[in-house]
Structure 1
Amino acid sequence: MSYLIGIDIGTTGTKTILVDERGNQLASALEEYPLYTPHPKWAEQEPEDWWKATVNTVREVMEKSEINKADIKGIGLSGQMHGLVIMDKKHQVLRPSILWCDVRTSGQCEYIRETVGTEILTQSTCNPVLEGFTAPKIIWVRDNEPEIYEQTANILLPKDYVRFRLTGEISMEVSDAAGTLLFDIKQREWSQVVLDKLDIHPGLLPSTYESIDVCGQITPNVAEITGLLAGTPVVGGGADNACSAVGNGIVKEGRVSASLGTSGVVLAHSDQVRVDPDLRLHSFCHSVPDKCYIMGVMLSAGGAYRWFRDTVAQRELSEAKANGTDPYDLLGAQAATAPVGSEGLIFLPYLAGERTPHADANAKANFFGLTLRHQRSHLVRSVMEGV
């Protein structure tokens, strides 16, 4: 039997699964890594952390499954969208990746609106100018770290950086490229008019492929450290939401999904490019060749729950570690003791601003309605209900 490996470069961690040709999962592994917020509105990660987690989780699923490496017929990747990875001509990463939930770029967004114009942006990129997209991050580096921008030779997104480390090939696929604000969604190619107006050299951007295209093969060095077979094909893969949609069967008109990861997403398949006239929604290329999808995003969903776990739930983290359990199970049990509605306590989950339907990088989170009546269980439940 033949087998496949899927690698997801998430915001919380990297998860790798090994499945047979019928989709049955034989093994999985997860490794978490930090998210850094050195200043208000900033959110960064180290690409090297993604790579280490990829190597470790791939090696773990190979060991768990005991599958012959020659039977692994292909590897696909999905990953968090929009994150900026910049490398020099020697393929060294020049700075931490600026993530999708980073909202420092309001000034750069205004520059893009004034320089490119809403009409061109709507016709070409089919999306609003938002702080989370990649183009404002590129311009932020150019404005604030010119010495780094001058060294930049390649711009990638998170999963494409990991594919580069796996194969040595620099490429990007269309579902992720669509989230850069530099991509012509209708033509499925880089938008020369937007690049020209923003003075971003097209040579910084990689060739683009469809999600199903083979973009490289596992190198001998990677094979040695992961247990994979050198030469194993690696495909383009896709943006996390596009891949999730494919996995859930959102591949035909009329099908819609709602998913909760670090962010929360409502997504609808579309056979053609459709653009919200008020630009409240995103229109992106799908991982289904030549198809698109429409998406609304809430920036802090599972991410809000993780924030609560890491910031407030030290007791549960310690107890879970001691007992070999999951701290989320302990938090969920507490939440179950509070009534529906948390007795009037409301959590607004705007920890990183918001996108849909109110695009506002300055939106802030808060607990609203706290009284002497409220206990820890109410706090946990209100976070869940706020999402």
Structure 2
Amino acid sequence: MFLGVDVGTGGTRAILVDRDGRVVVSEACEHQPIHSAEIGWAEQDPDDWWHAAKTAIGGVMRWARENGKAVESVGLTGQMHGCVMLDADGKVLRPALIWCDQRTQPQCDWLNETIGYERMIELTCNPALPNFTLTKLLWVREHQPEIFAKIAHVLCPKDYVRYKLTGEYAIDMQEASGTLLLDVTYRRWSTEVAAAAGIPMSWLPSLFEGPEVCGRILPEASSVTGLAAGTPVVAGAGDQGAGAVGMGILEPGSVSATIGTSGVVFAATAAPTKDAHGRLHTFCHAAPGIWHVMGVTNGAGLSFRYFRDTFTPQLGYDDLTALAAKVPAGSDGMLWVPYLFGERTPHLDPDARAAFIGVTASHTLGHFVRAVLEGVAFSLKDTFTLFEELAIPVEKIRLGGGGARGPLWRQIQADVYNHSVELLEAEEGGAFGAALLAGTGVNAWPSVQAACAATIRAAAVIPPTSAAAMQAAYPRYRRIYPALKGVFQA
């Protein structure tokens, strides 16, 4: 068995996967809600992730003991870009600023002035954005210098859990690509960026490829998780990198569209492909020797959750989608722009705001719900539009996350993308990809590509049925952001 652990935003999930790619058991533990002291702020307690990881891992390990199964190796994945700051003793100095925190635009502006916008993309393949780890460090330096002075180690969320499991300060290439401190082209830390930003290289964890073993379970971690001391732990990947492995997105032309809290369109590339305007992220792939590009919508599944929790907490998601299914494609002219936490692709605007547009007295609850589902799909289509502009091929699209589980949302995606979409037999997200990386690391498969070929199977293909209505609505959606830009700024 191979253990995959996903330290997400809402909770941590652990799964056991066998060599046939079957998920034999899964356990999850929710995290405490995101703390947001001010608009645009988002923080979590790293030790809450560790508590959830212990609970989830402990649950699957009880099943393993009861069924006489052994875990050969462990792979980690999780929410990307978070900034965990530790002192010299490995103690957490403050709550982590996580991926959706938007407070650091002034630090982005400082980086662009100090290093230069074009030079930053040349060095890291990405622009300075509030989501990235480096900008969060710079915010702490400016606003909490007493904490900054005590920093000895900087980790991302899943890598803090790894530290608690193994005692190692380590990170994988794919996750490190989202820190704004990695030379993505050459798969090494950028000494130029670190020096310009005033970040000591000693703070940065050791770099590994996704399937490389980078640590082993400590006796004290064994006692609280049930994992055997000495079990190998591989580097793994950030949630999008591991999710792409779990969906077999490894060759040019293969693309995934995943809707979780955020939404991501992810395409594998044989070489680092840079967007000169920084609208797409270019990262190292979790598989050695290849890269990927991706566009990100900050408020994808978050839009649906926000709507339900705020306006219809008494109804479940299935109840709401049943109402939306009665509404025609295009929501009778209503549109939703999902900028609840600003927006990354394609606008790079932390001040963008969400909105319903075109509301009339004849619209029903079902219209609002369908507009949310369509608006999220339109925001992901913006990335496909950029792929076309940059000649990035799209031959097959595989759906993942919550957007793949409901028949209405996956049909909406096929219609909005104007392309058939594939569903997998078992779409298990990042935890599954992390487990495949773990198996590759102990030679259960000779490569990540071989692991995917042995375990991932398509289950269905969904063609577009209402593409004309969605293609007519998309240009109207595209006009909303320019019309609203700056309206909500002081």
Normalised TM-score (structure 1) = 0.93
- Write 1 or 2 for the structure with the bigger share of helix: 2
Aligned-partner Cα distance in 1 for 2:197–2:68: 46
Partner residue of 1:357 out of 346, 349, 353: 346
The one-letter code of the counterpart of 2:165 is L
Aligned-partner Cα distance in 2 for 1:376–1:66: 48
Aligned-partner Cα distance in 2 for 1:310–1:83: 25
Give the C-alpha shift of residue 260 in structure 1: 1.0
Aligned-partner Cα distance in 2 for 1:373–1:118: 47
Aligned-partner Cα distance in 1 for 2:205–2:16: 28
The one-letter code of the counterpart of 1:358 is H
Partner of 2:123: 124
Is 2:337 aligned against 1:348? yes
Give the C-alpha shift of residue 8 in structure 1: 0.7
Aligned-partner Cα distance in 2 for 1:339–1:30: 36
Partner residue of 1:30 out of 28, 31, 42: 28
Is 2:108 aligned against 1:115? no
Give the C-alpha shift of residue 166 in structure 1: 1.0
Aligned-partner Cα distance in 2 for 1:226–1:272: 39
1:69–1:228 contact (8 Å) kept in structure 2: no
Give the C-alpha shift of residue 70 in structure 1: 6.5
Count of residue correspondences:
375
Aligned-partner Cα distance in 1 for 2:139–2:355: 28
Partner residue of 1:6 out of 4, 7, 10: 4
2:155–2:204 contact (8 Å) kept in structure 1: yes
Is 2:323 aligned against 1:334? yes
Is 2:224 aligned against 1:225? yes
Tell me the alpha carbon deviations over residues 144-200 of structure 1, each in whole angstroms, 9 at most, x when there is no partner: 111110111110001100111111111111111111111111221110111111111
Give the C-alpha shift of residue 93 in structure 1: 0.9
Task: Write the mapping of 1:113-152 to structure 2, written as runs, cut at 5 A.
Answer: 113-152=112-151
Give the C-alpha shift of residue 20 in structure 1: 0.6
- Three-state SS of the structure 1 residue aligned to 2:92 is coil
Partner of 1:298: 297
Give the C-alpha shift of residue 384 in structure 1: 1.4
Tell me the alpha carbon deviations over residues 108-162 of structure 1, each in whole angstroms, 9 at most, x when there is no partner: 0000001011343122101111111111111000001111101111100011001
Partner of 1:15: 13
Partner of 1:187: 186
Aligned-partner Cα distance in 1 for 2:357–2:55: 42
Is 2:52 aligned against 1:60? no
2:335–2:356 contact (8 Å) kept in structure 1: yes
Give the C-alpha shift of residue 378 in structure 1: 2.3
- Three-state SS of the structure 2 residue aligned to 1:176 is helix
Tell me the alpha carbon deviations over residues 273-317 of structure 1, each in whole angstroms, 9 at most, x when there is no partner: 12112221111011111211111111111111122233223212x
Aligned-partner Cα distance in 1 for 2:307–2:146: 37
Aligned-partner Cα distance in 2 for 1:379–1:311: 13
1:133–1:181 contact (8 Å) kept in structure 2: yes
Partner of 1:163: 162
Q: CA RMSD in A?
A: 1.5
Is 2:166 aligned against 1:177? no
Tell me the alpha carbon deviations over residues 10-64 of structure 1, each in whole angstroms, 9 at most, x when there is no partner: 1122111111111101011222221121101111111112111111111122234
2:118–2:276 contact (8 Å) kept in structure 1: no
Aligned-partner Cα distance in 1 for 2:146–2:131: 23
Segment drifting more, 113-122 vs 81-90: 113-122
Aligned-partner Cα distance in 2 for 1:50–1:261: 18
Higher relative contact order (CA 8 A, sep 6+): 2
Tell me the alpha carbon deviations over residues 180-238 of structure 1, each in whole angstroms, 9 at most, x when there is no partner: 11111122111011111111111111111111111111122222222221111111000
2:64–2:70 contact (8 Å) kept in structure 1: no
Percentage identity across paired residues of the two chains: 46
Give the C-alpha shift of residue 68 in structure 1: 5.8
Give the C-alpha shift of residue 377 in structure 1: 2.5
Give the C-alpha shift of residue 83 in structure 1: 0.5
- Three-state SS of the structure 2 residue aligned to 1:315 is coil
Runs of 5+ in structure 2 lacking a partner? Answer: 377-490
Give the C-alpha shift of residue 67 in structure 1: 5.6
- Three-state SS of the structure 2 residue aligned to 1:314 is coil
Aligned-partner Cα distance in 1 for 2:295–2:163: 30
Is 2:82 aligned against 1:83? yes
Cα–Cα, structure 1 residues 64 and 377, in superposed 2: closer, same or farther, change >3 Å? farther
1:26–1:65 contact (8 Å) kept in structure 2: no
1:304–1:351 contact (8 Å) kept in structure 2: yes
Aligned-partner Cα distance in 2 for 1:170–1:343: 53
Partner of 1:271: 270
Aligned-partner Cα distance in 2 for 1:225–1:210: 28
- Three-state SS of the structure 2 residue aligned to 1:238 is coil
Partner of 1:323: none
Is 2:362 aligned against 1:373? yes
Normalised TM-score (structure 2) = 0.74
2:162–2:168 contact (8 Å) kept in structure 1: yes
Aligned-partner Cα distance in 1 for 2:103–2:232: 38
Aligned-partner Cα distance in 1 for 2:339–2:366: 21
Runs of 5+ in structure 1 lacking a partner? Answer: 317-326
Give the C-alpha shift of residue 65 in structure 1: 4.8
